Structure 1
């Protein structure tokens, strides 16, 4: 199945997103108990009952718990849940030590993934430009990005390196590139595999450099054609506004000498002149294939990073009050020194800390934890594991461990969390038409990874994700996956392990009552027992005997789950009851 991409690139309005003009954060008093936040979807609802600690951290630092991960944490060293959780955090902060071979085996050529291991040059020459400069047909052109999209779904469900997957999502949004932008599609494997993923817990300065040199970013924000004769400020502006210092530190057209100096001796923000100097420093940073001459006189473009000295502005650049010089002996020196300044700047590290805390803790995190994470980032800005150290500060803080329901899951997180719980068994083969159906099902929720058009990335605040279209689109997909999945011939095979998980959790058939089934699955999914009202509604449904004319039976009658005959349809009722739990507000909390 081919995915229809419409090339587009729109400069975002600075008022479009909470990222562009972040709300000023104020210090809130520390709470001695777990903090929860109730959100409203139609009618007021009481604050959420916090789930157990293991469930809580798996929902916040992973795509959600499943029985395997819960069992794994319970067998880790430690006499208490807190000790076991600390051991799990340490484990997740070192993803290379986690054996994820079973997940990666799903992403091989044998399963239809033919581009994930191609080199950057192979991607360009086999999917983007032919030797004569012509582009490939659309199905070949878009194949790499389709495979990355399916691999992201698959890893979210099956990977044991769950924190790495969450961090990959975070950094993809931070350095956002829309797959609707023409030219990104054939090179996106390189961006995901070589630029983002190796650096998610590494060093920010290194990742910033790799992004700057990547074919995808050079195309997306037009820096591949940036020349001294006509500097293009598009990427330069986003480097400062979105990737490093942040919009809060922008002082507009103020004279650079009037920008206040902070307590560490840095200019506290940037001005328009800094953006233009940055654009000049970025001239000549391009790739093979960005220029017409790259295909003339027998030349064959490679798609690799290419510094073009004859395009580079060799004048002095002043950024944040400091001057940077070009030298022919080291022609990329000026930009690299500017990247050093931006990476170590207190404003950059606080901006990153705010975003990390917003992602993992709360829409409005305490200034205390922001300060702690920012300090870790800045003090270790040259360390190869800088981000890992910052995440350790964040994940082991009381703010992370004790808050609950101050965030909600965005649609992709709800979908993957549900599929992890039911152990969804679909094989995401790019050659399988139904794999493409999953893509479009997620697309209609408004949260298909890598498809936010503007460079600021998907919003990360509750208010954006409570719209009816997003909620309904998400729920429809989860309901189908938690029940049955139509195949090519119109059959509806079971692609989950709801029944198997039920028999494992409740091995005694006499326990298969509406009451027991509701309690088992609700606690498994939500991490706590349902309140009486929720329990009774779910149990009434589970105890209904006739699917055509349902009449509520006794909640304590045994239900034969080996029988799915008409009219009771016992197994179908179980699937639907489980899907209904995924529709509760409690499931959306994180």
Structure 2
């Protein structure tokens, strides 16, 4: 990841037609030790950029809501959200999905049985067709997961929770292309990440450690006594908790790998034959399995302290040490600050956040409250270049705030084209978070095309699924109260001139969504 970079408004690249002209122109709050709620008050002129930062993108409805209750109160509610509200049509789409209706373990075990049947087919043509059908089903489940995530991003009332869900999915990254993870990634997001996104970090970490998607992705199902696989242990410290150069040693990696032996995945109906004396330690929860036959019961020394070998309880003790380390507090605080400001944060800010993280026993909402109440956060508003997910979701939120889309697949396709597809990062480090990592000519070319597609109503967002799906284009009305009350006040003369020269409402929409000002949050 690039560090120490400051976002500069990039020179806008000339493109054909009119877009070239525009481009060239240019619940209860967390309480600190003293018991006083944090103050998130901002000037009225900063409401739009502040909403663009704590939501996936300001919309007319969120702007009116924040105006009505004050940004202070709105953000307090976002930090401690009630049950999410979704438009009925969006809720119906999500409820109709296979991944919503069926438990993950049932889906995966059925698919595993299907895979074994495919392997047994003798005829090459029949086998090829069956293999393709198996892959198609995995792809369909992955598309459902992406669609569910994007629909919530665009329409959930709990905008901060959805942003943090993406953040932690990226932090605890898994790649859907490995093994059968396409059938698991939706459950991983829904049950390991989203419920803990604003809670205690230890609960979040533990949920990922015990989820079969993570254990498969980082090969811990191959980790056994006498045959150590250090992959997960290394990433658990380097990427998930302590951070690189935090002082842990190669011996710590090996000891943590020993602690994690026996944690794996069972895709079948049969339990292993556990040897005598250890049957009571066997654990099976869905696809997760702790197999005592594979665990190293020897005593360990982890992070400089002894840890008695006793089975699955070793894992929880190791997680406690990792979560309560000052290195973890600093590492996570810095990463959260980069995400919510777009740049390398000042060290005093990350130290204040880390102090709160430790004092509040890893409370994520309390840590974020320090960030959002800071002068550094307010000074960064409007200066962070949107990564692809923020650009796509904010455009849909502005265009279709009051009209639920019927098809999120175009959104997923745009993210793929811009290099940030959901569940598509192959390496465990996740996508880069700094604004500077996403500023390129290729990004801008694609964004102008997306702006034109959405602005003209031809984006396919209202096309029903299937080969015979009907398309019912919905022309967006972007000249809304949000534009006149807020957005109009932040656009520059060049963008204003371009909008005035638009020859149709469709062109006006495209110019607005492609404007330099819309590229920043």
Residue pairs, 1:161-310, within 5 angstroms: 161-249=158-246, 269-289=247-267, 304-310=287-293
Residue pairs, 1:126-525, within 5 angstroms: 126-130=110-114, 137-249=134-246, 269-289=247-267, 304-327=287-310, 331-381=311-361, 386-423=363-400, 425=403, 427-428=405-406, 435-485=408-458, 493-498=472-477, 502=479, 505=481, 521=483, 524=486
SS of residue in 1 equivalent to 2:99: coil
SS of residue in 1 equivalent to 2:245: helix
**Count of equivalent residues:** 465
String of CA shifts for 1:127-159, please: whole Å, max 9, x gaps.
444596768712222333211101112112111
String of CA shifts for 1:380-435, please: whole Å, max 9, x gaps.
226xxx11111222222222233224421101211110111111646445xxxxx5
> What TM-score do the two structures reach when normalised by structure 2?
0.81
> What TM-score do the two structures reach when normalised by structure 1?
0.72
Matched-pair contact (CA < 8 Å) for 2:4–2:343: no
Given candidates 51, 57, 63, the residue that maps to 1:64 is 57
Matched-pair contact (CA < 8 Å) for 2:139–2:182: yes
Alpha-carbon separation, structure 1, partners of 2:117 and 2:290: 20
Higher relative contact order (CA 8 A, sep 6+): 2
Alpha carbons of 1:372 and 1:103: their partners in 2 closer, same or farther (altered >3 Å)? farther
Number of the residue aligned with 2:123 = none
Alpha-carbon separation, structure 1, partners of 2:510 and 2:380: 26
Number of the residue aligned with 2:11 = 41
Alpha-carbon separation, structure 1, partners of 2:147 and 2:499: 33
Alpha carbons of 1:100 and 1:291: their partners in 2 closer, same or farther (altered >3 Å)? closer
Matched-pair contact (CA < 8 Å) for 2:400–2:476: yes
Which moves more between the two structures, 363-372 or 484-493? 484-493
Deviation at 1:52, TM superposition (A): 2.7
Matched-pair contact (CA < 8 Å) for 1:522–1:529: no
Deviation at 1:194, TM superposition (A): 0.7
Deviation at 1:540, TM superposition (A): 2.2
Alpha-carbon separation, structure 2, partners of 1:402 and 1:318: 45
Alpha-carbon separation, structure 2, partners of 1:290 and 1:246: 36
Given candidates 70, 82, 89, the residue that maps to 1:96 is 82
Structure with greater helix percent: 2
Alpha-carbon separation, structure 1, partners of 2:169 and 2:253: 23
Alpha-carbon separation, structure 2, partners of 1:164 and 1:103: 21
Which ranges in structure 2 are unaligned for 5 or more consecutive residues? Answer: 14-22, 27-42, 120-132, 274-283
Alpha-carbon separation, structure 2, partners of 1:447 and 1:51: 33
Number of the residue aligned with 2:511 = 580
SS of residue in 1 equivalent to 2:306: strand
**2:73 is aligned with 1:87:** yes
Alpha-carbon separation, structure 1, partners of 2:49 and 2:409: 32
SS of residue in 2 equivalent to 1:336: helix
Deviation at 1:484, TM superposition (A): 2.3
Alpha carbons of 1:117 and 1:393: their partners in 2 closer, same or farther (altered >3 Å)? farther
Deviation at 1:114, TM superposition (A): 2.1
**2:109 is aligned with 1:122:** no
String of CA shifts for 1:537-580, please: whole Å, max 9, x gaps.
321234xxxxxxxxxxxxxxxxxxxxxxxxxxxxxx11211211
Matched-pair contact (CA < 8 Å) for 2:498–2:511: no
Which moves more between the two structures, 178-187 or 237-246? 178-187
Which ranges in structure 1 are unaligned for 5 or more consecutive residues? Answer: 1-16, 26-35, 77-83, 250-268, 296-300, 430-434, 506-519, 543-572
Alpha-carbon separation, structure 2, partners of 1:370 and 1:60: 18
Matched-pair contact (CA < 8 Å) for 1:177–1:217: yes
Deviation at 1:97, TM superposition (A): 4.8
Matched-pair contact (CA < 8 Å) for 2:7–2:343: no
SS of residue in 2 equivalent to 1:464: helix
SS of residue in 2 equivalent to 1:364: coil
Which moves more between the two structures, 97-106 or 402-411? 97-106
SS of residue in 2 equivalent to 1:247: coil
SS of residue in 1 equivalent to 2:264: strand
Number of the residue aligned with 1:515 = none
Matched-pair contact (CA < 8 Å) for 1:91–1:98: no
SS of residue in 1 equivalent to 2:352: helix
SS of residue in 2 equivalent to 1:310: helix
Matched-pair contact (CA < 8 Å) for 2:99–2:187: no
Matched-pair contact (CA < 8 Å) for 2:455–2:476: no
SS of residue in 1 equivalent to 2:98: coil
String of CA shifts for 1:299-357, please: whole Å, max 9, x gaps.
xx985211011101112222211111112xxx212222111100000000100000000
